[in-house]
Amino acid sequence: MASVSTRIEKLRKQYPESTSAVLPALRLAQEEHGGWLPPEALREVAEALDLTPAYCVSIASFYDQLRLEPVGRTLVEVCTNVSCALSGAQQVLEAFERELGLEAGTTADDGSFTLGTVECLGGCGWATVVAIDNRHRLRVQADQVPAIVQELRA
């Protein structure tokens, strides 16, 4: 795999102005750094795109998928917007809290999991939607959660 800066350089060429590449570049850097953007990742992106690290922070802090703090190796996000909430999202979230032994919005001490809620994932017709490392599980019901967590721990 080419270095991060080489890959950012390739991204940059897609756009008439290099700043446009900041979102894809931050996404790439985040993937390379275990799911979040430590200071060195921000510096890498800044250098590759002729920006400042502070500018990169201003971008990362605006977008929910970009993270400025460490995240568990597996990220579980339960949609709790209206359609999912009408279909039992709250019970699904509680089931994850129980099975993972984690309060929503926190990361396990051993860094294994982060559990959170998330705004509408665009799967309202297949509620409840749970994003696990950004892959969507559809029609999740609370009683299926123990098996899902077992699968994730395996």
Partner 1 sequence: MPEHPQIVFAGTGGGAVTRIEDYESAGGFAPLRKARSMAPDDVIAELEASGLRGRGGAFFPTGRKWAFVPKPDQLPKPHYLVVNADESEPGTFKDREIMLRVPFRFLEGCLIAAHAIQSKHVFVYIRGEYEQEFEVLRDSLEAMRKADLLGGVTVVLHRGAGAYICGEETALLESLEGKRGQPRTKPPFPAIAGLYAAPTAVNNVESITTATSVLELGAGEYAKLGVEGSTGTRVFSLSGDVVNPGNYELPHGITLRELVYDVGGGVPGGRELKAIIPGGSSTSVLTAADIDTKLDFTSLVEVGSSIGSAGVIVIDDRCCMVQLGIRVSQFYEHESCGKCTPCRVGTRWLTQILEKIEDGRASQPDLDLMLSVCDRILGKCLCPLGDSDAIAVLSYVDKFRDEYQAHIDLGRCPLDGDSSLEGILAPSAMHGRQAHEVAHV
The site for partner 1 (CB under 8 A) is made up of 14-24, 26-27, 37-39, 42-43, 53-54, 57-59, 61-66, 68-69, 80-83, 85-87, 89-90, 93-94, 103-106, 116-127, 131, 134-136
CA 103 – CA 36 distance, rounded (Å): 20
Rg, the chain, Cα only: 17
β-strands 74-79, 113-118 pairing: parallel
Helix, strand and coil in the chain, % to nearest 5:
50, 15, 40
Query: Given the DSSP bridges, would you call strands 130-132 and 74-79 parallel, antiparallel or unpaired?
Result: antiparallel
Strand, helix or coil at 2? Answer: coil
- In the complex, minimum distance from the CB of residue 119 to partner 1, in angstroms, rounded to a whole number: 6
Smallest gap from Cβ 110 to partner 1, in A, equals 18
Nearer to partner 1, 114 or 148 (CB): 114
Residue 127 or 148 with smaller CB distance to partner 1: 127
Least distance (Å) between residue 59 CB and partner 1: 6
| Min separation Cβ 66 and partner 1, Å | 5
Residue of 112, 110, 111 whose CA lies nearest to 154: 112
**Closer residue to partner 1 (CB): 127 or 149:** 127
